[in-house]
Amino acid sequence: MSLSLDLDAPWGKFNVSSFVPLAGLIMSYHVRVKICGVTTELDARQAALLGADAIGLNFYESSPRYVGEATAQLILRELPPFVAAAGIFVDKPMRTVFERLAFFPRIRIIQWHGKDRELCECLPYHLIAAFPVRDAASLQAVQRYLDACQVAGRLPSALLLDGHAPGQHGGTGRTAPWHLLESFRPGVPIILAGGLTEDNIAEAIRIVRPYGVDVASGVESAPGRKDAEKMRRFLANAREAAARLS
């Protein structure tokens, strides 16, 4: 039997067609979790074993979570199948990003922060365009970027919407204005970041209903040092919150 459904996801409407019996159709909300700013092999291994969908490696030299090429290679070797890896870059020309990632075939996601955004073809990579959000004007700037991408036929794979901290790019512990994001439907998946912890992740998911969540400082004992118990509780609370919304 053919089934066609129009679903209203947090990032907009999409259509699902399937050839399965209606009785066998189970729709559920699964929130993806990325542990960002991983700096050690042990932290990568623990994040994967605890159920993280992805980790982030920070190639921004000014970040306390920066990793060099040798360390990044060792971390990537610890990842099992089906756990993705993202490379984080700030204000780097995409040509430079592509050249850097040529040494890391395990990384297939580019998370890009900065001001001078290029509308270029990123295949075979998925581009996550990261934006700090402070107010409604911030979201208007995001929408203008998406409109330009739409015209160029170069939409990003997802948006990462972070808390606003002047001069900083992620890992600040500042939360984004969830009440503004609640009604924001950009037409691409939203990854919520900024100040997320085991204590507030359920509320953040309930309000924003993002495609994914991104956490760095909220699961650390010190900048760049993940805490296994904090990761476990964060992941458990995120999954439980998503299950309640299914």
Coarse DSSP helix, strand, coil percentages of the chain, rounded to the nearest 5 percent:
30, 25, 45
Q: Which domains does the chain have, with CATH numbers?
A: 28-244 (3.20.20.70)
Single-letter amino acid, residue 211: Y
The C-alpha atoms of residue 36 and residue 215 are separated, in whole angstroms, by: 6
Residue 162 annotated among the catalytic residues of the structure:
yes
Residues near 147 by beta carbon (within 8 Å), at least 6 away in sequence? none
The C-alpha atoms of residue 38 and residue 47 are separated, in whole angstroms, by: 9
Find residue 220's DSSP bridge partners.
Answer: 226
Listed in order, strand segments (DSSP E) in the chain are: 3-9, 12-18, 32-35, 54-58, 84-90, 109-113, 126-133, 158-163, 190-192, 212-215, 220-222, 225-226
Q: What pLDDT shows up at residue 13? A: 43
Task: Point out the catalytic residue in the list 43, 53, 162, 214.
Answer: 162
Alpha carbon 140 to chain centroid, angstroms? 20
| pLDDT, one tens digit for every residue, the chain (246 residues) | 444 444 455 555 443 333 344 444 456 889 999 999 999 999 999 999 999 999 999 999 999 999 999 999 999 999 999 999 999 999 999 999 999 999 999 999 999 999 888 888 899 999 999 999 999 999 999 999 999 999 999 999 999 999 866 555 455 678 999 999 999 999 999 999 999 999 999 999 999 999 999 999 999 999 999 999 999 999 999 999 999 997
Task: Point out the catalytic residue in the list 6, 36, 116, 120.
Answer: 36
Single-letter amino acid, residue 98: F
Residue 122 annotated among the catalytic residues of the structure:
no
CB of 51 within 8 A of CB of 43?
no
Euclidean distance between the first and the last CA atom of the chain, given in angstroms as a whole number: 24
The C-alpha atoms of residue 114 and residue 169 are separated, in whole angstroms, by: 8
Buried b / exposed e along 136-174 (16+ C-beta atoms within 10 A):
eebbeebeebbeebeeeeebbebbbbbbbbeebbbbbeb
Q: What pLDDT shows up at residue 116? A: 85
Find residue 131's DSSP bridge partners.
Answer: 161
